[in-house]
Structure 1
Amino acid sequence: MPEENIDDITLLDSGAAYSYADYLRWTFEDRVELIKGKIFHMSPGPSRSHQKVSASLGNKMYNFLEGHPCEVYFAPFDVRLPSKIGSKDKEIFNVVQPDIMVVCDQSKLDDKGCIGAPDLVVEILSPFTAAKDLNNKYSLYEESGVREYWIVYPGEEIVEIFVLGDNGKFELRNRFIGEDEIQSVVLVGFSLKVKDIF
């Protein structure tokens, strides 16, 4: 007998571990992510500066990738990060919604979103999500094999780029500001000046 949907987030136990199968039964309006089975709330509504950065950077990536096998997606878009290939929904405990992501392996895409690590992930920090993006998600993306992780600081107009090293650990490529030109490792040939994002 199928389990019932949950339409009230207060019915969930904040100390429990939940799977993607549980996540699919949640019909409440609150946007949440799962990291190692724990519920993390997303910000209620992104700020204007967040949306401006997302649109500017995302559009530049989208235009660059026209006719390319890699595709760019924007939140809300579920990315399931299983601990092993072939995991069933009840065995997946990581479901996140990066602000922007690029997926080059078409086999990772299905009607539910992406299963497996995107090649490139961008998180645009807000006061509400900074700790999660800099700690929990950083570790999760590193463990999952995201090849390139951009952290954007809208207030300071800084972009940090981390690239996955041969040792499976993120290495800070650089902190970019102002007139600095960002060049992606994953998206060969893609470049832009930091000031053009903001």
Structure 2
Amino acid sequence: MSAYEPKEILIDDISLLEPEATYSYADYLKWTFEERVELIKGKLFRMSPAPRRTHQEIGGAIFTEVHHFLKTKSCRVYHAPFDVRFPNLTNDPDDQTFTVVQPDICVVCDPAKLDEAGCKGAPDLVVEILSPATASRDLNEKYHLYEEHGVKEYWVVYPGENVLEIYDLVEGRYASRGKFVREDTVSSSVLEGFVIKLEEVFEEVR
């Protein structure tokens, strides 16, 4: 007689979750509700509703430029929703992985980190476009998360100010390269040869 296989319980309503509980990526995979969430060190964070128009336009402009630049290169660029898992150890299974986030844009240059579920490990470059609902998380929890796990370059876009701030990982800590405005042209320390004019990124922002 075959062993009893318990049925996997799927969660189709976010209200069934306990906000203060600790969850793993294995739990995350059982959630079938439409609302997008992230896990940071096991804690549940709701994502903002559909991004505002300016958020979409800025993200689209950056993604398009990076995607075009990488066409003949080995790195790959992805935009949300795209799961990035941060295990503490490379071989940690799903039930021992407690962080999964969805950056607005990320670039991954190590193909070994990519699988059908997304990215397991640190992307080389992450872009977050601030929104009222997520700004504090992007500037605090995610900032420290990306720094801790070795994301080499972190771009933070302030849509209301038409400003881009770039952080470079230097000896394990982020150092701000500066804040750049619409009139500036910026480059990437990770993607050698990539430059982007911010007037094109903020072109549709009024």
Q: Shorter-normalised TM-score: what interval? A: over 0.9
Question: Equivalent of 2:154, from 149, 155, 170?
Answer: 149
In structure 2, stretches of 5+ residues that fail to align are 1-5
1:41 aligns with 2:46: yes
The Cα of 1:2 is off from its aligned counterpart by 4.1
Aligned to 2:69: 64
Percent identical residues = 57
Corresponding residue number in structure 2 for 1:81: 86
Q: Is 1:193 matched up with 2:197?
A: yes
Counterpart secondary structure, 2:58:
helix
Asked if residue 181 in structure 1 is aligned to residue 185 in structure 2, the reply is yes
Number of the residue aligned with 2:173 = 169
Can you list the C-alpha shifts for 1:42-82, whole angstroms capped at 9, x where unaligned?
11100000000011010000000011000000000000011
RMSD, aligned CA: 0.7
For 1:69 and 1:4, the matched residues in 2 are separated by 39
* Structure-1-length-normalised TM-score: 0.98
SS of the residue 2:78 aligns to: strand
Selected match of 2:122 from 89, 94, 117: 117
TM-score w.r.t. length of structure 2: 0.94
Counterpart residue number, 2:3:
none
Query: 1:3: how far off?
Result: 3.2
5+ unaligned residues in a row in structure 1: which ranges?
A: none
Give 1:5's aligned residue: 10
Letter in 1 for 2:25: Y
Whole-Å Cα distance in 2 between the matches of residues 115 and 2 of structure 1? 27
Distance 2:7 2:154 in 1: 38
Point out 4+ residue stretches in structure 1 off by more than 6 angstroms: none
Answer yes or no: is 1:139 the counterpart of 2:144: yes
- 2:7 and 2:72 map into 1 onto residues whose CA distance is 42
